[in-house]
Copies of this chain bind each other. A is one copy, B any other.
Amino acid sequence: MNVSPKDLRQVVVFQNATEADLRQILENSFPRSVEEGEYFFLQGDPANYLYVLLHGQVKLLQTNLRGQQVNLRTIYPWQMFGALGAVRDKINYPASAMAMENCAALAIKSLFLKDMLRTRPYLSNDLMHLMTDYVQEMQVRYRELATERVDQRIAGALLRLTAQSGQKTDKGVELSFSRQDVAEMSGTTLYTVSRVMTEWERRGWVRLGREQIQIIKPHELVKIAEGTER
């Protein structure tokens, strides 16, 4: 995959960058391909590179000491991930980045971007936007996990996915996620996700397939997520 400086404008953090800056960024980066199931980096690795996903889909996973993991976020093309190293020195990735399909990404040296940030306020500003978004999303998910019933959280996760990555088709929005994926995103188990969503299918709100979820009545899911109905 070949990337031109202009293409990089699709990256939120680079949206206001000058043509010259973009070229410089490209010069200090290299492409990296990772096959499905492999990792861009593992939790605990030194955060020497940050990535811009060009193609595919990446999961950011955090693992505890006993190996149980949660999905912190899913990355889509032109999104940046692993950017912490550009802010802090000598830091390790707090999560692992797994390729959900065959992926291509642009690897940018953390130190290079860190240097650039020092003299490009617009870059700092845009990166900060990203961080604040992220903080807020995590706060909401934390609150949901602490106070919401599991069906509310699943509905919330599906609605977030719909907004982030839904493919609109003739009949409803189509999501490509396994039950396990949804479970990791809503802090539950694949069994519970299956049970809850099967009930929703019975009611005609969603249509289910293998690694496939069609949202037919998003409005009903909103009511579930809000807790106004059960």
Q: Which residues of A contact B (CB under 8 A)?
A: 62, 64-66, 68-70, 72, 84, 87-88, 94-95, 117-119, 121, 124-125, 127-129, 131-132, 134-136, 138-148, 187, 226-228
**Interface of A, helix, strand, loop or mixed by DSSP:** helix
Copies in the complex: 2
A39 to B70 Cα, complex, angstroms = 34
Check A147–B70 contact: CB distance below 8 A.
Answer: yes
Q: Are B132 and A88 neighbours in the complex by a CB distance under 8 Å?
A: yes
Chain B hits for A140, CB < 8 A: 62, 94
Q: Please report the C-alpha to C-alpha distance between residue A140 and residue B142 in the assembled complex, in whole angstroms.
A: 10
Chain B residues closer than 8 Å to A138, beta-carbon distance: 135, 138-139, 142
A131 interface neighbour in B72, B117, B135, B226, Cβ under 8 Å: B135
The docked-state distance in angstroms from the alpha carbon of A121 to that of B66 is 41
Establish whether residues A132 and B84, one from each chain, have CB atoms under 8 Å apart when the complex forms. Answer: yes
Q: Pick the residue among B119, B128, B136, B145 that contacts A187 (CB under 8 A).
A: B145
Interface residue from B95, B143, B187 paired with A146 (Cβ < 8 Å): B187
Judging by beta carbons under 8 Å apart, are A124 and B132 in contact?
Answer: no
CB A45 to nearest CB in B, in angstroms, measures 15
Query: Within the assembled complex, what's the spacing in Å between the Cα atoms of A174 and B226?
Result: 39
Question: A53 CB to closest chain B CB, in angstroms?
Answer: 19
| Interchain nearest-CB distance for A50 vs B (Å) | 12
- Contact between B118 and A119, CB atoms less than 8 A apart: no
Q: Does the CB pair B147–A146 fall under 8 Å?
A: no
- Give A118's nearest chain B residue, CB to CB: B121
| Residue from the list B64, B119, B134 in contact with A135, Cβ < 8 A | B134
Contact B68 A147 (CB under 8 A): yes
Q: In this complex, which of A62, A146, A147 has the most chain B Cβ atoms within 10 angstroms of its Cβ? A: A146
Residue of B nearest to A123 (CB): B124
Residues of B within 8 A of A94 (CB): 136, 139-140
Residue numbers in B under 8 Å from A65 (CB-CB): 226-228
